[in-house]
Chain A
């Protein structure tokens, strides 16, 4: 029986269910002390003086002057400091680090900071500083708009979203001596151990030995993509200064206030349509609030803009995007990475277009949906692995959508639909530039996978082992997966962008085929007994047909796309305006599932996050910092908030993926919010913003 395509026993073992799996806070080291971050309490200004109102004996104290390399987190730009020097750009910005053996003394330490406060900028629409601008142009949208039968306009907004991984950020930095040189090992809850290496190399300058080991990680969702470089840098600074292992674990409130969130967005559509429903022109303006530093905003904007026209064909498209500075904690990666924002906008807009035309919105979508051979907004010609119509038709059929939608008219129940897609892997030439590698090692009993890809609940260990097992033709039980320790594994790039199975899995497949040739019919154990161990390492080769122009933003944005159609059945309470989701049908095509149960888990979990995004999750930020920074007040779905989920996984293999698999992790995030809001629209509620809280819905009905 092949491993791929079956829900085989997971490589995680049983540790997660017995409590023996080791997360960052479960680890202790001899002589370990605890670290704490002293953060700004103003959103904008300058530090004038710092006073310690506590007995500093026994404390290690670090400020920016202790940094021997460069005081900046090396990401896209180097604008974000590890520690404030003088200028404060957001609330909760790290200024000082302190460490002590005794956590009570650590927590009681009072630091008094004198600031010169300046007027902060919180409104992205008022911001004049753009981190990145993008302009995607196809055809002649100006003329096409003028020639259209009808132009439909609309503005749609989305708020911040907080990841709420149930395990907060945490790391332990251990001073290590390697070949007589002082270095540091970081154990931590991270998605991208090699990102942390890059950031620490910049922080410490002269290449001290650094290694990063990923501990069992309690959820990431992008929130542990780039942020851990900051907390790891802090712990490392304290460890090197004190000579002791230093543990920094954020409590929930600190994590919610200080770390990254999903970018809020304002998207404006002007769409030219013909009476028969053809979309002839799309003019789209995308504004994203990046917060105080660049972090990953340019890439979030990029993905958001590329997906902004939705899964629709149109010959004349202009998408203009800006991500701008505000004095708020920097926003960053979050599952979907810009696409949930822009696909929310276009899908709600499609519904309004249908309304304006007096046309059924399913028919409108069917007419305009991308098909094989069509070109996207960036001019990419789609290949056979294009499934917009397949997922749309199946979802509509399965839920008896058209009939039920009419049946519900006039009641407090409704059905809504969203059609969406998600590019897998890094954009354009991103995968080419990453030069990701994977390594396969022969062992006395089988093989060992040694990549930097991290297991964060999505099934990395298992799916990689399944791929290797089948490609190599050895039992699945004989494949082991090394814990990501940067000193011992290949740099397979970050665990993001829905690339871990599709891209890194593909490199592992290549490694396995090479190893199979060398084994020449012997089992790994036999070969090892006779000839000893060997290692195969391969680099990712993107499909050779990918052509992407990074300046013009034209060409093949992604090697492949996943496709989805969600249908939400909801009920609205007429007294309280609360929305109760009754059922959500998610039809998704992502090549084929490597592990069906894990794949279903991605869809169900992503759908839950999407429902929270749509209805429940609101970041309240009145003065530049999250005010509702407790799980009591930032509400993610509980069991009682979740509807029945009906997941359908359709197949349309992608030849460039291992065994036909495409990326999956983020696709499910794009569908739920527009599906829910479109259901509300069908009830006569003109909602254009999320979260669609009862308060918002109440205000939509007040005018009726």
Chain B
């Protein structure tokens, strides 16, 4: 250790749980009420709250003002609008699992929902929450991306419809405005076999290391989670397969389209290898 003079560090002790008394919440009973509040007041919407207290425990919770929309029951409906499946933002994973409409139109969303956490999380976690939370590992997001779902946003004065493939702008960043709520996810009819695979850290209660959803049609649609800062479609891979490339060529293209990283749960090398394996598996099983 010769010549290694100690370096001075000034460090704050480890942060602890954020104080509850410093938080403010309003709980509207209707969508209109909720949007009226958001028009004038910057609040973070919460529903299933499955991520909220995790941040609170670590003292990393930044927002202090919340809009609890759990009671806005009009956002729970799952229905058909013609051939489009309309899923209310507050539909829980449990309601998706039980829905005959979802099973018919987008069965891979049922599969994905079954693999979220465990029953307790499925009973509270919502599809809108998964979309708004914008985690690159969100389990439903590759499914929604592969079927070109549309996110319906409402503010007090406006409604916007944004394709999910344009919804994310970067790591945990979306195009949502502070006065908006996700009210529904719309899923157009899906032609072609659906395929879903989540690779988690264990068989249940697992964060995904890599998630894939695919639709096999003349032009396949394939989406990945946990291999980029956001959920991603892989258009070059899709185009090459549509143009008749063999799966090995497509796998090579895929390896250039995704940018997995090393993190607490897995490695870039593993994710890349498994992504290409799963692409092949998708192709074989839907062929």
Contact = CB atoms under 8 A, between A and B. Distances in A.
Question: Does A touch B (CB under 8 Å) in the complex?
Answer: yes
A252 to B, nearest CB: 8
Nearest to A615: B202
A107 B274 contact: no
Most buried by A among B6, B207, B266, B278: B6
A119 B10 contact: no
Nearest to A106: B16
Interface in B251-271: 264-267, 269-270
Contacts of B278: 575-576
B177 interface: no
A46 interface: yes
- For B8, B10, B13, which residue has the most chain A Cβ atoms within 10 angstroms? B13
Contacts of A114: 8-11
A635 B206 contact: yes
Contacts of A251: 17, 57
A641 interface: yes
A580 B20 CA distance: 42
A38 B8 CA distance: 19
Contact of A116 (B6, B54, B58, B277): B6
B6 A46 contact: yes
Contacts of A574: 277
A576 B204 CA distance: 16
Contacts of B243: none
Contacts of A637: 202
A39 B265 contact: no
Contact of B199 (A111, A576, A632): A576
A213 B12 CA distance: 35
A137 to B, nearest CB: 36
Interface in B113-172: 118
Nearest to A694: B270
A575 B277 contact: yes
Contact of A36 (B16, B18, B269, B280): B16
Contacts of B269: 695, 698-699
B264 A38 contact: no
Nearest to A580: B203
A378 to B, nearest CB: 39
Interface string A632-668: 1101011111000000000000000000000000000
A627 B4 contact: no
B111 to A, nearest CB: 15
B14 interface: yes
A616 interface: yes
B11 A118 contact: no
B7 interface: yes
Nearest to A91: B14
Given A251-B57, A695-B270, A633 B265 contact: yes
Given A575-B278, A633-B265, A698 B16 contact: no
A578 interface: yes
B20 A104 contact: yes
Given A575-B274, A633-B264, A116 B8 contact: yes
Given A576-B278, A641-B204, A107 B199 contact: no
Contact of B11 (A107, A115, A620, A640): A115
Given A616-B202, A620-B264, A632 B4 contact: no
A111 B13 CA distance: 6
A119 B203 contact: no
A5 interface: no
A554 to B, nearest CB: 40
Nearest to B10: A114
A302 B244 CA distance: 64
Given A39-B14, A633-B265, A698-B273, A117 B204 contact: no
Contact of A42 (B9, B199, B266): B9
Given A107-B17, A695-B267, A118 B277 contact: no
Contacts of B18: 107
A374 to B, nearest CB: 41
A112 B14 CA distance: 10
A630 B4 CA distance: 35
Contact of B58 (A39, A112, A253): A253
A641 B10 CA distance: 44
Nearest to A640: B203
Contacts of B280: 575
Nearest to B117: A632
A379 interface: no
B218 interface: no
B19 interface: yes
Contacts of A635: 201-202, 205-206
B26 interface: no
Contact of B13 (A38, A48, A628): A38
A207 interface: no
B21 interface: yes
A108 B56 CA distance: 12
B281 interface: yes
A518 interface: no
B275 to A, nearest CB: 10
B16 A107 contact: yes
Contacts of A578: 199
Contacts of A253: 57-58
Nearest to B274: A576
A39 B118 CA distance: 34
Interface string B212-247: 000000000000000000000000000000000000
Contact of B19 (A92, A108, A580, A641): A108
Nearest to A92: B14
Contact of A110 (B8, B12, B54, B273): B12
B270 A42 contact: no
Given A39-B13, A641-B202, A119 B20 contact: no
A580 to B, nearest CB: 8
Contacts of A641: 202-204
A143 interface: no
Contacts of A42: 9, 11
A407 interface: no
Interface in B58-111: 58-59
A675 B267 CA distance: 26
A641 B273 CA distance: 23
Which residue among A113, A575, A641, A694 has the maximum number of chain B CB atoms within 10 Å of its CB?
Answer: A575
B31 to A, nearest CB: 32
B202 A112 contact: no
B118 A638 contact: yes
Interface string A495-528: 0000000000000000000000000000000000
B70 to A, nearest CB: 23
A36 B10 CA distance: 20
A45 B7 CA distance: 9
A118 B19 contact: no
A117 B199 contact: no
Interface string B166-208: 0000000000000000000000000000000001011111110
A412 interface: no
Contacts of B277: 574-576
5 contacts: A42-B11, A574-B277, A632-B54, A635-B205, A640-B204
Given A113-B10, A640-B204, A702-B273, 11 more contacts: A36-B16, A38-B13, A41-B12, A41-B13, A107-B19, A116-B7, A116-B8, A575-B278, A575-B281, A576-B199, A641-B204
Interface of A: 36, 38-39, 41-42, 45-46, 48, 53, 92, 104, 106-108, 110-119, 251, 253, 574-578, 580, 616, 620, 627-628, 630, 632-633, 635, 637-641, 694-695, 698-699, 702
- A-B pairs, 10 with minimum CB distance: A116-B6, A640-B203, A107-B16, A575-B277, A104-B19, A640-B204, A695-B270, A638-B204, A111-B13, A41-B11
